[in-house]
Amino acid sequence: MTPDEFSEALKALAWKQTDFCRMAGLNKSTPSRWLAQETQIPEWVPRFLGMALEVKRLHDTYVVPPKAGKETDA
């Protein structure tokens, strides 16, 4: 995962770096080191963010009511 991909995933989740750190149990300065390319982003991070994005997709699909005027399959 590149620093740009990491940033885009956080943006898609509407998370700040501190939100990610709280969810992943990391020190709040860790993502800053990744984005500055001081340390490599660990292999588990894309999987973690991928799962979070999938949960968001499922939530948006099945929990959030459709907007007015939008067709549904119901």
**Segment 16-43, tens digit of pLDDT:** 999 999 999 999 999 999 999 999 999 9
Q: Provide the token pair at 34.
A: 């990744």
Half-sphere exposure of 43 (CA within 13 A, CB side): 0
Instruction: Give dist(CA 15, CA 17) in Å, integer.
Output: 7
Instruction: Please state, for a pLDDT cut of 90, what percent of the chain lies above it.
Output: 85
Q: How confident is the model at residue 70 (pLDDT cuts 50, 70, 90)?
A: low
Condensed to tens digits (0 to 9), the pLDDT of residues 38-68 reads 999 999 999 999 999 999 999 999 998 988 8
The reported pLDDT for the residue numbered 24 is 96
pTM exceeds cut of 0.85: no
